Structure 1
């Protein structure tokens, strides 16, 4: 009997031990599963965070590139304006001077602008380059014209005489027309106009204006000189909407405003906005 009790006790103990071991093994397996799941969740979280960082970085880069391109596009119209002014100057140079070097420089500037997507300073520099080339071209044309007129036979005056011519010439020089040809003629509007400008780059005056007052004579020369600068950008100017709306497409009114900008006002004035626009024509820029 005692042996049987002992045997039952041993079996019970073994069963209890076996159950404990089974539970321990089950707990270990469950703990391992939980740990594996945590590691999986952690990995997923890290992956999601990395993907988020990548997307945020990509968005930031895209936004920066968009802003850069917008800033480049913002300054391109000014470049196109200078290109139009240069083209007009090239037309005026036909048959007078070689523009091959000027064209090559402008072409290089165009290529730089076409290839630029990020830096507006590159476009601004190209714009300044084309503007400088247009001014230089205008100066070379004026020099060529002056040399042509200087070599012409006969005096540049008739009834006004050398003193009258010298007075008109001095007035033209004072308003900035040192390299512009000047001749006396009664042909301006059939003799009804006291002075006129020719699209070839010279000015003619009627003999009687040699006796005008200094102020009136300087205004007349500034007005005619303005027409010379208008001819240099004629195509771009006449196709400008602002020219039509602000000046009624009237080159005489615009010439008056251009004279005002140079400090030589006539009888017809113009407002600040008209003066601002007119000032651009003096530097070959059409707004």
Structure 2
């Protein structure tokens, strides 16, 4: 009996020891599992934080990309206005002062080049260029309206503003800045390329706008000479020297007066004729 009891107790001890061993193992496993769970939870939180950061970075990148795309989408319209303003400024040369307009356009262009994210900046710059183009057009139109220099209406017809500007520049060059000028086909019934009116203005035929610079300058100097002749017409026509030196021919005298100004034509004149003709420019008849 004692042996059986001893064996039974020994088995119970072994069983309990085994149970304890299994419990220790389970506790170890639990501890390990808890540690793994804590680690996994920490990793999850880290991953969540990283996900939040990446989500935020992605949202920012997407917004930035959208902004840049919006800016790029508006640039073609801005370039269209640049071309329009460029054409307007070219057309205004010799007519109105465009220095301030050019400076404003350059500033707007630099702003657009620097802008990467805000489409409103490009829109505003585009509107600025459009307004500048309209302003230049208005100023040129005002200049053109002011160019009517004599009876008969507008300053030009078929020669256009560019042709007129070229003839005007030639007349200004030879000293006729204050003399009226307008296009007309009425000079000698259209047979003369230009003519001067006793009322103090000059008319020109449209085709002379295409003459060479030297020929055009001579023509304007010649017609300007007639304007000065008209100013002393009475004394001129009664002058004996005028008849002797020029045969009473105002065209010949006008040629010599142009030579004196440095614009010789096809007909020359001698020193005595030039000396006499020069006095007409200062309102004197010798």
TM-score scaled by length of structure 1 = 0.48
Structure of greater relative contact order (alpha carbons < 8 Å, 6+ residues apart):
1
Q: Which has the larger radius of gyration?
A: 2
TM-score scaled by length of structure 2 = 0.49
